[in-house]
């Protein structure tokens, strides 16, 4: 034993089963060793011959020490670049109790609404806040970034107009929209044959070819302009008006919703979410009532439970890509729930007066700066502004200011012929002094700052906000820290997260999100960098990107990586666009057919359509494998126009298809490329790889396989890895050099997406190292096969490999019990047992898909299996007539504490059977759902998606 090694290697913290458990579990499974089990699971033809080229593991302590030296290579300047990213003060009560709290960040997307009422309320608050600030009635629960939100609006209004006009394809965009947003619009417009025309607003020509316009308010250069007449003209011509805006500015400005805008989008980052060198933060999307059924992304709505109690859930879910597939207009799945929750809490903590005071302070500070710069002889171009000054300069002065600013540790924005300065709530008097000093120095003048005397607002009277906002009690009740802390905790207590029990979500890989991986995300050297600073100030980040890209290439077997996409679905979209660009570069613009197996996740066809492809569905056989004959027939039929196959591996049925190499080769023979959906990489890393099976490109859901938490529905990251044939086409960025030489336009607003959370995946690989990363895959397979062995006989397991093994997940068929119960009944009943349901009815209706991950130990797996086996007995009880077929523990699940403790008990079974069906529940594992089963249809018929005026909010 080397005395220099740490006894507590991270691998033993991350992986659940210990050595003794491993042996017991293998015995139950009936495998002689772990290696043997893996051999029986992963086909020999695709096994990697060599170990992954990854570094050796570091202990948590060693990792954090090393990360400190990397962090020191980032320089945290005072940054006034603006352009959608601002300094902000995260209230410590929010930082500590939400951002750094696994009770919040390890939650899953709130599909099981009865055990998600806390985050659903927090997201409803976010929607209400967005609706209030923008002056529009409907808002969604977040999108990935401002650029994506603008692109979604463009796509939505194009879809609306196409029902009336076959010729209106022009989207007129103000040249004062942020450059990264314009870049993203171009990406999204090209495959959809939308023409993006960028011009000064004064030159807009609203003709019959135009379906929509996009404005930025305040404008990209900081000017506050009056767009009311333009909006009226647009409406007279049935042209939709979308406005990119800033929630803080809207505390002082007349909101676009009040002057007629049809949609308002933007970034809520400056409501208390650190910049994080680009993200994550929550974009917002608000619109008029008439578009409520077209709005992209998730909307939280109000409904009732089966006892008539108010209850929240995701509304209008039938619009989601899962259901609409190639008819979906957006592929958004993972969004930015955690960050939306933080922004909503920021509004709740500050309240309307607080938000207004922050806006006034920012505006006042900006006015003081303007006065001082004018006194120094500089000319400020914007007659009206909120937080941004545009100082006209010649090139020489601009250069001199930049040099002096850098020397003083300050970043401004430098558009042609100007210096642009955007202030925020973090600016202190000393910061103002430092800025003024830079400008004085360039003019060789003495510094005599005058920091008082704010005049009237520099906002036209007609555009000064008069309407109230944030009037709901939720924004007026929690202004002391005690109250806010308790409100956050009260909501957290309604939500089941990984802090309670395993969340065995097939395809979603809810593994450990280790504290040592998460902690550095809050370090100022990572949290407080603006995405558009000169890259030489981000040396630490660049090192991490370079190393992480190399790790991800090692894991996938590919040659290059783009860290830009902000989610798995965005990765799919980006990857397909590189394929499209590749075919175009080879003169094959006609290649536009995407073959997609019927078992694919709904985002696959949705992304393909967004990438301008025509979707052809390939059928699957009874074992859940791709029907190779059907694939061959379709590859031949569409040979001339074949663009790509999208394939998930192991399949969404949790099976390593043995014919995968043949499948990929077939596509290549017909000139197509193979896109592999990487959601199931947790079954591959270290054992096989996308390159090994013959794919050309894949995305990795870092929020599944690489330990980024799900955050209750985001953030996530979906980088793509490609082979050399696609490398030249990796996405670029308008403001920062990245991507391939023939790279496509950007797919995210920030060059490296949600950069700060890449740290989590980086830490995951560094602390597990070559051995631990592979072991994670092996133990994930072990755990799934253990559950299979324990449940088999009582439940039918669908789709196993040729040797009867499942991969890292398994599907249990509940259709045999259809006459007695539904799959949903089982999902809801699991709540009474303290568990979150597995994935429900995907990829097969009437089934549940269980994915335990490597992080769960044997006792946790056993508790889950006991619950499942007990539920099986309950089903039998109904089948034999012992239990009431209409009113039983399953049909009435989940049972709330209110119900179980009420004087009235209307059921034929006991309260104990309802709430404590197994002994372990009395040993501290009970979790109480806060509402009974929710009526989804009621809420969709009566759509309410802002906070209703209800007594429940009263303190
Ligand atoms: C999760 C998942 C996706 C989508 O990923 P997001 O990050 O939610 O956009 C795509 N395909 C499969 C199979 C998935 O499980």
**Tokens representing residue 308 in the block:** 């008539």
Pick the CATH number of 769-925 from 3.40.50.720, 3.90.1150.10, 3.40.50.2000, 3.40.50.300: 3.90.1150.10
In angstroms, the Cα distances linking 269 to 281, 772, 784, 800 are 5, 36, 39, 45
Residues 701 and 714: their CA atoms lie apart, in Å, by 11
Closest ligand 1 atom to 507 CA:
15
590 C-alpha vs ligand 1 centroid, how far in Å?
28
User: In angstroms, rounded to a whole number, what is the distance separating the alpha carbons of residues 349 and 364?
Assistant: 22
Contact 11/768 with Cβ under 8 angstroms?
A: yes
In the chain, where the domains are located: 557-767, 769-925
Torsion angle of the four alpha carbons 693, 696, 702, 705, in this order, in degrees rounded to the nearest 10:
0
3-state secondary structure 669-733: HCCCEEEEEHHHHHHCCCCCCHHHHCCCEEECCCCCCCCCCCCCCCCCCCCEEECCCCHHHCCCC
Core vs surface per residue 908-943: b (16+ CB within 10 A) or e: ebeeebbbbbbebbeeebebbbbbbbbbbeebbeeb
Query: Which of 506, 598, 603, 698 has most ligand 1 atoms within 8 Å of its beta carbon, as the pocket-test mutant?
Result: 603
Q: Which two tokens stand for residue 321?
A: 């890509």
Distance from Cα 683 to the centre of ligand 1, integer Å:
15
Q: Let me know the angle formed at the C-alpha of 312 by 309 and 314, rounded to the nearest 5 degrees.
A: 145
Nearest CA to ligand 1 atom 6: 568
The residue nearest atom 11 of ligand 1, judged by CA position, is: 601
**Residue 518: which of 656, 690, 711 has the closest Cα?**
711
Contact indicator for 477, 265 with CB cutoff of 8 Å: no
CA of 81 to the centre of ligand 1 (A): 34
List pLDDT tens digits, range 645-654.
999 999 988 8
Q: Encode pLDDT of 892-932 as tens digits.
A: 999 999 999 999 999 999 999 999 999 999 999 999 999 99
Q: Read off the pTM.
A: 0.97
The answer to whether domain 557-767 and domain 769-925 are alike in fold is no
- Give residue 941's pLDDT: 82
- pLDDT tens digits for 856-869? 999 999 999 999 99
What would you measure as the largest C-alpha separation in the chain, in angstroms? 94
**Predicted confidence (pLDDT) at residue 687 exceeds the cutoff of 90:** yes
Residue 321 has pLDDT above 70, yes or no: no
Q: Which two tokens stand for residue 419?
A: 């210096």
**Is 319's pLDDT higher than 70?**
no
pLDDT at 953: 45
Joined tokens for residue 176: 């004062």
Separation of alpha carbons 253 and 465, rounded Å = 5
As a whole number of angstroms, the distance between CA 173 and CA 155 comes to 14
Give the separation between CA 284 and CA 123, rounded to whole angstroms: 11
Distance 306 CA to ligand 1 centre (A): 31
Residue 278: is it exposed, middle or buried by C-beta count within 10 angstroms (0-12/13-18/19+)?
buried
Residue among 808, 227, 223 at smallest CA distance from 459: 223
3-state percent breakdown (helix, strand, coil) of the chain, nearest 5: 45, 15, 45
pLDDT higher than threshold 90 for residue 79: yes
For ligand 1, the distance from its centroid to the CA atom of residue 601, given in whole angstroms, is 7
Residue whose structure tokens are 């100007």: 418
Confidence of residue 939 (pLDDT cuts 50, 70, 90): confident
Span from the CA of 327 to the centroid of ligand 1 (angstroms): 18
CA of 568 to the centre of ligand 1 (A): 5
pLDDT band of 955, cuts 50, 70, 90:
very low
% of the chain surpassing 90 pLDDT: 92
| Average pLDDT, integer, range 800-828 | 94
Identify the DSSP state of 208: T
- Ligand 1: distance of its center to the CA of 733 in Å? 24
Tokens of 945: 């998606």
User: Which amino acids bring their CB within 6 angstroms of ligand 1?
Assistant: 333-334, 507-508, 567-569, 601, 603, 648, 652, 677, 679, 701, 716, 718
What is the SS3 assignment for 417? Answer: coil
**Model pLDDT, residue 299:** 93
How many helices (H) and strands (E) are present in the chain, helices listed first?
Answer: 29, 26
Q: Per residue in 405-460, pLDDT tens?
A: 999 999 999 999 999 999 999 999 999 999 999 999 999 998 888 888 777 889 99
- Nearest-atom number in ligand 1 for the CA of 716 is 7
In 3D space, the residue among 150, 224, 241 whose CA is nearest the CA of residue 189 turns out to be 150
| Cα distances (angstroms) measured from residue 618 to each of 361, 627, 629 | 59, 7, 10
CATH 1.20.1250.20: does it fit domain 557-767? no
DSSP 890: T
The pLDDT value recorded for residue 322 is 65
The C-alpha atoms of residue 621 and residue 880 are separated, in whole angstroms, by 34
Distance CA 282, CA 855 (A): 29
Block residue for tokens 């018929």: 941
Return d(Cα 845, Cα 566) in angstroms, integer. 29
- Say if residue 360 is preceded by a cis peptide, omega within 30 of 0: no
Closest CA to 657 of 32, 33, 150, 41: 41
Residue 135 Cα to ligand 1 middle (Å)? 33
At 576-596, the pLDDT tens digits run 999 999 999 999 999 999 999
Distances (CA, A) of 249 to 362, 387, 569, 773: 9, 8, 31, 46
Q: Which residue's CA lies nearest to atom 8 of ligand 1?
A: 334
Q: What does the pLDDT average to over 677-692?
A: 98
Closest C-alpha to ligand 1, atom 14: 679
Please tell me the residue having the least CA distance from ligand 1 atom 2. 679
Q: Ligand 1 atom 3: the closest Cα is on which residue?
A: 568
Say how many Å lie between the CA of residue 602 and the centre of ligand 1: 8
The ligand 1 atom at the shortest distance from the C-alpha of residue 571 is 9
Among protein residues, the one whose CA lies closest to atom 7 of ligand 1: 568
Mutate to test the pocket of ligand 1, among 507, 808, 851 (most ligand atoms within 8 A of CB): 507
Return d(Cα 648, Cα 654) in angstroms, integer: 10
Say if residue 272's pLDDT is above 70. yes
Rounded to the nearest angstrom, the distance between the alpha carbon of 325 and the centre of ligand 1 is 13
- The phi and psi torsions of 855 (rounded to 5 degrees) equal -80, -10
Atom in ligand 1 nearest the alpha carbon of residue 648: 13
- Cα–Cα distance for residue pair 771/765, rounded to 1 Å: 10
Alpha-carbon separation of residue 953 from 401, 506, 922, 950 (angstroms): 52, 36, 31, 6
Residue carrying the six token digits 């059977």 = 913
Buried b (16+ CB within 10 A) or exposed e, 187-210: bbbbbbebebebeebeebeeeeeb
Could you tell me which residues come within 8 angstroms of residue 63 by beta carbon, excluding any fewer than 6 positions away? 10, 516, 763, 766, 767
| % residues pLDDT > 70 (the chain) | 98
Query: Sign (positive/negative) of CA torsion 213, 218, 220, 225?
Result: positive
Residue 569 Cα to ligand 1 midpoint, Å, equals 6
- By CB atoms closer than 10 A (0-12, 13-18, 19+), residue 550 is middle
CA 900 to CA 311: how far, in whole Å? 18
Q: What is the pLDDT of residue 954?
A: 40
Q: What is the mean pLDDT of the chain?
A: 96
Q: In this structure, what token pair is assigned to residue 478?
A: 């929690």
Report residue 3's pLDDT band, with 50, 70 and 90 as the boundaries. Answer: low
Whether the CB-CB separation of 134 and 264 falls below 8 Å is answered with yes
State residue 326's pLDDT score: 83
Are the C-beta atoms of residues 513 and 716 closer than 8 Å to each other? no
Q: Which atom of ligand 1 is nearest to the CA of 652?
A: 13
Distance between CA atoms of 40 and 396, rounded to whole angstroms? 70
If DSSP codes are grouped into helix, strand and coil, which group holds residue 311? strand
| 832-835-838 Cα angle (round to 5) | 120
Distance from the CA of 614 to the center of ligand 1, in angstroms?
20
Q: What is the pLDDT of residues 109-127, one digit of tens each?
A: 999 999 999 999 999 999 9
Q: Report the half-sphere exposure of 587 (CA within 13 A, side-chain side).
A: 0
Q: Relative to the CA of 572, which ligand 1 atom is closest?
A: 10
| Atom nearest to 718 CA in ligand 1 | 7
What whole-number distance in Å separates Cα of residue 279 and Cα of residue 716? 10
Q: Separation of 448 CA from ligand 1 center, angstroms?
A: 57
3-state secondary structure at position 84: coil
Counting ligand 1 atoms within 8 A of each CB, the residue from 144, 338, 568 with the most, and so the one to mutate, is: 568
Q: Residue 318: is its pLDDT beyond 60? A: no
Residue 280 has a pLDDT of 98
Going by their DSSP bridges, the two strands 697-699 and 720-722 should be labelled as antiparallel
791-803 mean pLDDT: 91
Best of 141, 332, 334 to mutate for ligand 1, by most ligand atoms within 8 A of CB?
334
Q: Are 765 and 773 in contact (CB under 8 A)?
A: yes
Q: For the CA atoms of 865, 868, 873, 879, what is the dihedral angle to 10 degrees? A: -150
- The number of C-alpha atoms within 13 Å of 489 and in the hemisphere containing its C-beta is 8
Residues in the chain, how many?
A: 955
The H or E element containing residue 572 is helix 568-585
> Is residue 819 predicted with pLDDT exceeding 90?
yes
Q: Which residues of 822-834 are buried (b: 16+ CB within 10 A; e: fewer)?
A: bbbbbbbbbbbbb
Looking from the CA of 819 toward its CB, the CA atoms found within 13 Å total: 6
């Amino acid at each position: 034993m080397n005395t220099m090694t740490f006894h507590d290697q991270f691998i033993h913290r991350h992986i659940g089963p210990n050595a003794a458990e491993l042996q017991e579990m293998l015995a139950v499974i009936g495998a002689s060793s772990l290696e043997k089990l893996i051999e029986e699971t992963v086909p020999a033809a695709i096994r990697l011959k060599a170990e992954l080229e990854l570094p050796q593991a570091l202990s948590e302590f060693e990792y954090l020490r090393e990360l400190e030296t990397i962090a020191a290579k980032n320089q945290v300047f005072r940054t006034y670049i603006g352009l959608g990213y601002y300094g902000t003060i995260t209230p410590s009560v929010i930082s500590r109790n939400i951002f750094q709290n696994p009770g919040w960040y390890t939650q899953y997307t709130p599909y099981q609404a009865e055990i998600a009422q806390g985050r659903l309320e927090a997201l409803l608050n976010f929607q209400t806040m967005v609706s209030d600030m923008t002056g529009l009635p409907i808002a969604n629960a977040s999108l990935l970034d401002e650029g994506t939100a603008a692109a979604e609006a463009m796509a939505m209004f194009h879809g609306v107009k196409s029902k009336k006009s076959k010729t209106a394809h022009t989207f007129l965009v103000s040249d004062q929209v942020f450059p990264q947003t314009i870049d993203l619009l171009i990406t999204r417009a090209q495959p959809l044959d939308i023409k993006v025309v960028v011009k000064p607003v004064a030159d807009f020509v609203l003709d019959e070819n135009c379906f929509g316009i996009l404005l930025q308010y305040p404008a990209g250069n900081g000017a506050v302009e009056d767009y009311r007449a333009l909006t009226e003209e647009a409406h007279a011509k049935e042209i939709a008006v979308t406005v990119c805006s800033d929630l803080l500015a809207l505390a002082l400005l007349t909101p676009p919703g009040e002057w007629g805008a049809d949609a308002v989008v933007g970034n809520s980052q400056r409501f208390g979410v650190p910049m994080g060198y680009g993200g994550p933060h929550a974009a917002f999307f608000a619109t008029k009532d008439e578009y409520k059924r077209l709005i992209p992304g998730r909307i939280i709505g109000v409904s009732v439970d089966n006892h008539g109690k108010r209850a929240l859930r995701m509304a209008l879910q039938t619009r989601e890509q899962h259901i609409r597939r190639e008819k979906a207009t957006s592929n958004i799945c993972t969004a930015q729930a955690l960050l939306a929750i933080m922004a909503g809490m920021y509004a709740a903590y500050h309240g309307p007066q607080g938000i207004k005071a922050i806006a006034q302070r920012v505006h006042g500070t900006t006015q003081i700066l303007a006065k001082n710069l004018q006194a120094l002889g500089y000319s400020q171009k914007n007659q009206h502004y909120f937080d941004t000054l545009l100082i006209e300069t010649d090139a020489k002065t601009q250069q001199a200011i930049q040099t002096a600013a850098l020397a003083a540790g300050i970043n401004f924005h430098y558009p042609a012929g100007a210096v642009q300065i955007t202030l925020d709530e973090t600016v202190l008097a000393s910061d103002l002094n430092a800025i003024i000093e830079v400008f004085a120095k360039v003019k060789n003048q003495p510094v005599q700052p005058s920091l008082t005397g704010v005049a009237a607002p520099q906002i036209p009277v007609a555009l000064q906000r008069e309407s109230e906002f944030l009037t709901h009690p939720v924004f007026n009740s929690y202004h002391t820290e005690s109250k806010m802390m308790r409100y956050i905790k009260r909501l957290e207590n309604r939500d089941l997260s990984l802090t309670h029990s395993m969340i065995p979500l097939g395809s979603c890989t809810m593994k450990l999100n280790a504290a040592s991986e998460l902690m550095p995300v809050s370090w100022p050297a990572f949290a407080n960098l603006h995405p558009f600073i000169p890259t030489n100030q981000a040396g630490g980040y660049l090192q991490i990107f370079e190393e992480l890209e190399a790790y991800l290439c090692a894991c996938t077997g590919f040659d290059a990586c783009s860290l830009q996409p902000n989610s798995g679905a965005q990765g799919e979209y980006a990857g397909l666009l590189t394929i499209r660009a590749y075919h175009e570069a080879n003169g094959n613009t006609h290649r536009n057919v995407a073959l997609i197996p019927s078992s694919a996740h709904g985002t696959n066809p949705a992304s393909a359509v967004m990438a301008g492809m025509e979707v052809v569905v390939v059928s699957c056989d009874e074992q859940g494998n791709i029907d190779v004959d059907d694939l061959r027939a379709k590859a031949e039929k569409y040979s001339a126009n074949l663009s790509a196959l999208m394939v998930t591996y192991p399949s969404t049925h949790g099976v390593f298809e043995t014919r995968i190499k043949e499948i990929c080769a077939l596509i290549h023979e017909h000139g197509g490329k193979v896109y592999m959906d990487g959601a199931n990489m947790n079954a591959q890393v270290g054992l096989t790889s996308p390159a090994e099976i013959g794919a050309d490109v894949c995305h990795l859901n870092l929020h599944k396989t690489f330990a980024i938490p799900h955050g209750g529905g985001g953030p996530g990251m979906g980088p793509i890895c490609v082979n050399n044939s696609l490398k030249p086409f990796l996405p670029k960025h308008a403001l920062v050099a990245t991507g391939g030489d023939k790279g496509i336009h950007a797919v995210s607003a920030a060059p490296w997406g949600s950069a700060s959370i890449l740290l989590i995946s980086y830490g995951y690989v560094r602390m597990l190292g070559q051995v631990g990363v592979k072991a994670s895959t092996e133990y994930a397979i072990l755990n799934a096969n253990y559950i299979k062995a324990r449940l088999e006989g009582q439940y039918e397991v669908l789709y196993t490999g040729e040797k009867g093994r499942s991969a890292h997940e398994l599907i249990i068929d509940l259709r045999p019990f259809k006459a007695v119960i539904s799959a949903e009944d089982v999902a809801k009943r699991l709540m009474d047992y303290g568990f979150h349901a597995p994935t429900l009815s995907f990829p097969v209706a009437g089934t549940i898909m269980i994915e335990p991950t490597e992080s769960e130990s044997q006792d946790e797996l056993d508790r889950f299996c006991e619950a499942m086996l007990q539920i099986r007995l309950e089903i039998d009880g109904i089948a034999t007539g012992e239990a009431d077929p209409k009113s039983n523990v399953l049909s009435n699940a989940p049972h709330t504490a209110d119900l179980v403790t009420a004087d009235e008990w209307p059921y034929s079974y006991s309260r104990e059977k309802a709430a404590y069906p197994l002994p372990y529940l009395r040993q501290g594992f009970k979790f109480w759902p806060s509402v009974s089963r929710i009526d989804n249809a009621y809420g969709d018929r009566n759509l309410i998606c802002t906070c209703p005026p209800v007594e429940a909010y009263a303190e």
